[in-house]
Chain A
């Protein structure tokens, strides 16, 4: 019983780490661009696909793949930003909101449909595993543990990048106040492009791990984006610690729900958590009160 529970907890934490990583990408793009990227989940899906392709075609393991997808998706992110988001960035707030939802939702549908068209068979996850570990009677898959460590390292790296480097500081400055950042001479457009590509790369990197655990389907993008929204709201906007914690809470909650109430109920828990946090603490667990 306890062993079961701990197993579930470990599974949930791992799932949560993946959610947290991708959700932080969403949160950083929203903070910098003021645009909620509804196509975020699609990039996780594409990241999963690419890492799957690398594994099947070249035998590259998911950890290498998670690093390899980063430059590719950063380029893709810059392209996406320049082509679709930069033209609308100068619009006044209400128009920007409508335009950004239309553009990102449209892009997401487009990616989904085109991927579904070229999809040959369902990708059933990578069968990549290392010998399992036994710890006080609990069997823990060492692959999962490594993934968790990897995600943790990536999150720490991100945190240091944002706090210590010049570009990281300018990203945070834009999050705090766009106009102020403009006044002190931060090149908004270039930094925005960078932040967007970082967000994209984090999603894709999370996708590389996602495929080792779950089945990937072309239609999973939008439901995933909704889960990230839940994570972001849960953790508080723009905070990396909040995103990771929000992700962990959601991951554990989903795993526990799937075990105790049946797998068909696990998609509802994200929304229930979202509603609860909105009623109890609308600014999120780690968010600053406005």
Chain B
């Protein structure tokens, strides 16, 4: 903890907020679109982190919530509801869905959980493709047209900010502590009286909420989605890669990861038309081999993060050596 570091940090954050708020009025329309997508991915990465980072369950199917939120919002908008009612509906439906699937899914652990949640995406994708009357099938669904770029930009920023607050509240609460304990050792946590089943379910519901809201805003802005665009590999994997690259289990991690990846995409990937998925794959392999702790836990960035006073949860793997059997 460093007082001067904290002051400087808050000043930078304030300036950044002002800049973001002013952006649409100083005529950078391309930057607005770019930040909109960045905020969508960042919110997904951060809300993934509640289950994936804090609780240690890799939920590869996080984009299911995004897609469900998007589809529910689109359907409700087409029924003539206004945006906020539609978003509320999407939020509720996704929360119920998360609660229902949490019961069977959390009987799996580790890699099995990851793979099963990954399968959940394709299940929902098949369902949306097959229920043609409700969702428009593989042709996709359109919402009432209109240019909602600027309001949706502010909305998505608000949701992103709200998710940051939510993530911080969870991290500092007793509930968050229970999640950390589940990550370190679930049996021990249960033995110490943590209601693990209930908390795992709650964590999944909490992490589903921002994803569904962002999905709703996304479809409101884009006015068209297809099963492939919201349940595809790209949207499923990028937030997770961002969270992993930045560092899971710490709020600053997904932010670093999201900014890093979108900047790289912007300047590098648009130049190369092929092998995007292969590049994602390579990034994943390198991450797994060399820094599963993420960027913020590397030797060069960690002191800086700690200097800013954000380092309480940087020492994520601090018991790593104690667990190792010689």
Question: Interface on A for B, CB 8 Å cutoff?
Answer: 30, 35-36, 38, 84, 87-88, 90-95, 97-103, 105-114, 117, 179, 222-223, 225-226, 229-230, 233, 264-265, 267-268, 270-271, 274-275, 278-279, 282
Contacts and interface: CB of A to CB of B under 8 A. Distances in A.
Minimum-distance CB pairs A-B, first 5? A106-B284, A102-B288, A36-B111, A109-B281, A110-B281
Contacts of A103: 284-285, 288-289
Contact of B281 (A91, A106, A225, A230): A106
A267 B127 CA distance: 10
Interface string B273-292: 01111101111111111001
B123 A109 contact: no
Interface stretch (B30-38, B158-166, B208-216, B317-325): B317-325
Nearest to A110: B281
A264 B111 CA distance: 28
B285 A95 contact: no
Nearest to B288: A102
Contacts of B319: 92
A107 B281 contact: yes
A268 B104 contact: no
27 contacts: A36-B114, A36-B115, A88-B289, A90-B324, A92-B320, A92-B324, A97-B111, A98-B244, A98-B288, A102-B244, A102-B285, A102-B288, A105-B281, A106-B284, A107-B285, A108-B281, A109-B233, A109-B281, A110-B281, A113-B278, A114-B275, A222-B118, A229-B116, A230-B119, A233-B112, A265-B126, A267-B122
Given A38-B111, A106-B284, 15 more contacts: A38-B115, A84-B289, A94-B183, A94-B184, A97-B111, A102-B285, A106-B281, A106-B287, A117-B274, A222-B118, A229-B115, A229-B116, A265-B126, A265-B130, A278-B105
Contacts of A275: 104
Contacts of B285: 84, 102-103, 106-107, 110
B56 interface: yes
A112 B122 CA distance: 17
Contacts of A112: 277, 281
Nearest to B293: A95
A106 B275 contact: no
A142 to B, nearest CB: 34
B65 to A, nearest CB: 17
Interface of B: 56, 58, 60, 103-105, 107-108, 110-112, 114-116, 118-120, 122-123, 126-127, 129-130, 183-184, 233, 237, 244, 248, 274-278, 280-289, 292, 317, 319-321, 323-325
Nearest to B275: A113
A229 B119 contact: yes
Nearest to B274: A117
A113 B110 contact: no
Contacts of A94: 56, 183-184, 317
A160 to B, nearest CB: 28
Contact of B107 (A264, A265, A278): A278
A106 B119 contact: no
B323 A92 contact: yes
Nearest to A102: B288
A275 B58 CA distance: 18
Contact of B288 (A106, A222, A264): A106
A97 B110 contact: yes
B123 A268 contact: yes
Contact of B130 (A38, A87, A229, A264): A264
Central interface residue in B123, B275, B276, B319, by most chain A CB within 10 Å: B123
A129 B261 CA distance: 50
Contact of A274 (B116, B127, B184, B276): B116
B289 A92 contact: no
Contacts of B325: 179
Nearest to A225: B115
Given A94-B56, A267-B122, A267-B126, A106 B282 contact: yes
A287 B237 CA distance: 32
A226 B58 contact: no
Nearest to A262: B130
A278 B116 CA distance: 11
Given A105-B284, A268-B126, A279 B111 contact: no
A87 B285 CA distance: 12
Contacts of B289: 84, 87-88, 99, 103
B174 to A, nearest CB: 22
Contacts of A179: 325
B90 to A, nearest CB: 23
A226 B292 contact: no
Nearest to B183: A94
Contacts of B284: 102-103, 105-106, 109
B130 A113 contact: no
Contacts of A88: 288-289
Given A92-B317, A93-B323, A114 B278 contact: yes
A148 B319 CA distance: 50
A97 B59 CA distance: 12
A233 B104 CA distance: 12
Contacts of B292: 91, 95, 98-99, 102
A226 B115 contact: yes
A271 B120 contact: yes
A100 B274 CA distance: 26
A84 B274 CA distance: 24
Nearest to B323: A92
B119 A109 contact: no
Contacts of B60: 101, 105
